[in-house]
Chain A
């Protein structure tokens, strides 16, 4: 393909439809149209014209809006399917993922798992789809904005007659004398309406709001910046989103900090509104019952003095005390630790008494810490209790043997050996919550449950996000683009002497009627025909007349 030289002398790139300079139609098929397709000003979108190397072919593929829409629709459908069944990340930790989907949802679940929808939003192909949208966005924009910019920059005042009469708003047959008489007034009125007016041989071109044409591209730029921000989340150190469950009294490494920071939970507190103190809520509180006022974890933040490997407890240096409340996170070194959950009243210790079954007489009590039970508890002289077995999460096994489901003290059970002066060899007793079994059923002594101690767990979320400001900038630019394209219109008016009469054409990217009204106001009191909308049915007759040059208005 070769460059096209227009009769006005301008040399256009290959594939140009309308001369960049004067607007003459360069492609024959366009001449049959009543109204020109003014998208991208009839410039050669490069992708459509160069198609030689592999690079061009890839470029062309991504520059197509059809391809872009296809990618977006595919992403949309995939995203929707991902919501049909729960995602892997929402499943309880103790189950096998594959079996879960199979047993819960049968064949559909199996398919869901096999196709990778169980981890859709983190899967490589979903990421790839999003990335392709980004690529398409960049290339589509570049492929259009560059030629459009050049064409708008190169446009000449005097346009080819064929260009003028194929504008959507068009009128002909104006009196040249009338134009001459009001030439200055016309210019002044145009300028008053913020048009930039250019003259050439007594012809006028008025233009305003060109910058509105860049709106969509500014908008895309914002989107691309946004996507870059999302991409940066995968760069180590940029983004942390972890959770930490920590028991009262416990000190734990804060996840996501590479064991640099440790947190000690002193206490977890839930406060409710007090109907006595908060009189204003008295009535509601009576109707609704207690309402929580505050969730709070009192913590101390520590910093490790030296790096430590897994399992190693480094020397800790206190940084600060803090009270974490909802929306009042603990902040340090770009990290924020938020209050996000809790577990109340988990059993931590139990107190028992050794007693005579018949008389009920007690021979001392002992306290069993469920995390660190002792082997033996000495009571008063001659009396002691040994723990033979401990099942923190007791269940009866299939083989009839007591066993533990996990190491968490959810349902503690013990096998005790009670040593007393009467029974120096000891008696065996199996004790679980509200259960007391004896192997032979004729024990003289028993273990009596006295009391239980509980502990609270605090659920915290650890966040660090260095990408937030990039997302904000991207979002802001996106909005600027939207506003730019929405609240300004690109308007151009050509007032030109053709065949000893005055032709007026106008073009805008939106709100044609408003442009027509604006021109009518500019022409007020001047006897020049107001351009008519050539795409309106009522103007058909008019239009045909214009095309063969017979109608005068």
Chain B
């Protein structure tokens, strides 16, 4: 009697455990797949993009430095507003180990060049012509800013217009 009871307990436990495992895995895989999004705490997806002069920039080359990664377009109004703030902060922080990469969402070289000249931007502006980097970072609306620390980890994601204070705060945060 006690033997059968024990057997029953073991069998039921094993079956329930297997079922629970299957359910848990499905939920986990589903939620992960559903939000393949990069989130704070995740390693930043690596990418290689070219600027208007054909120089390549690879994110993983920036290990050891903080990276202020900004996605923008010339047609996006808040982008126009925040660009000068970013440029000012960049001039201040580039000697302290913070780099800016501004990823244009794939406009024409001329449009981008006009914009860069107009605002006198001093940081690298690269172009994501195929949209692959936007996909990798799940960019939904502009502007979008990622802060990446010296270990290549995303520490902050911010969607929307930045204020001058916020830009400085962010750079301070990823300063190695």
Contact = CB atoms under 8 A, between A and B. Distances in A.
Interface residues of B, number: 44
A311 B75 contact: no
Contacts of B5: 50
Contacts of B49: 311
Interface stretch (A122-130, A293-301, A349-357, A488-496): A122-130
Given A50-B8, A373-B110, A138 B19 contact: yes
A231 B22 contact: yes
B133 A124 contact: no
Interface string A357-397: 00000000000001111110000000000010110110000
Contacts of A405: 75
Contacts of B133: 310-311
A311 B12 CA distance: 52
Interface stretch (B24-32, B88-96, B146-154, B166-174): B24-32
Contact of B16 (A55, A93, A234, A403): A55
Contacts, number: 114
Contacts of A309: 45-48, 58
Nearest to B19: A135
B42 interface: no
Interface in B32-65: 33-34, 45-49, 58
Given A122-B30, A252-B130, A407-B105, A311 B48 contact: yes
B34 A122 contact: yes
B61 to A, nearest CB: 12
Nearest to A56: B12
A253 B130 contact: yes
A476 interface: no
A20 to B, nearest CB: 15
Nearest to A59: B12
Contact of A127 (B19, B30, B106): B30
Given A56-B12, A138-B19, A375-B110, A310 B46 contact: yes
Given A131-B27, A253-B132, A405-B75, A312 B8 contact: no
B48 A55 contact: no
A370 B109 CA distance: 11
B26 A407 contact: no
A267 interface: no
Contacts of A393: 75
A387 B30 CA distance: 50
A403 B27 CA distance: 45
Contacts of B1: 3
A477 B49 CA distance: 52
A55 B9 contact: yes
Contacts of B9: 53, 55-56
A270 interface: no
Nearest to A375: B110
A392 B27 contact: no
Contacts of A370: 108
A134 B107 CA distance: 50
A451 interface: no
B26 A234 contact: yes
Contact of A312 (B27, B31, B47, B109): B47
Interface of A: 3, 46, 50, 53, 55-56, 58-59, 93, 96, 119, 122, 124, 127-128, 131-132, 134-135, 138-139, 142, 228, 231, 234-236, 252-253, 255, 259, 308-312, 370-375, 387, 389-390, 392-393, 403-407
Q: Report, nearest first, the 10 A-B pairs whose CB atoms are least far apart.
A: A234-B29, A310-B47, A404-B75, A312-B48, A131-B23, A310-B136, A311-B47, A310-B132, A311-B49, A309-B46
11 contacts: A55-B13, A124-B30, A127-B27, A138-B19, A234-B33, A309-B45, A309-B46, A310-B47, A311-B49, A407-B105, A407-B107
Interface of B: 1, 5, 8-9, 12-13, 15-16, 19, 22-23, 25-27, 29-31, 33-34, 45-49, 58, 73-75, 105-111, 114, 128, 130, 132-133, 135-136, 140-141
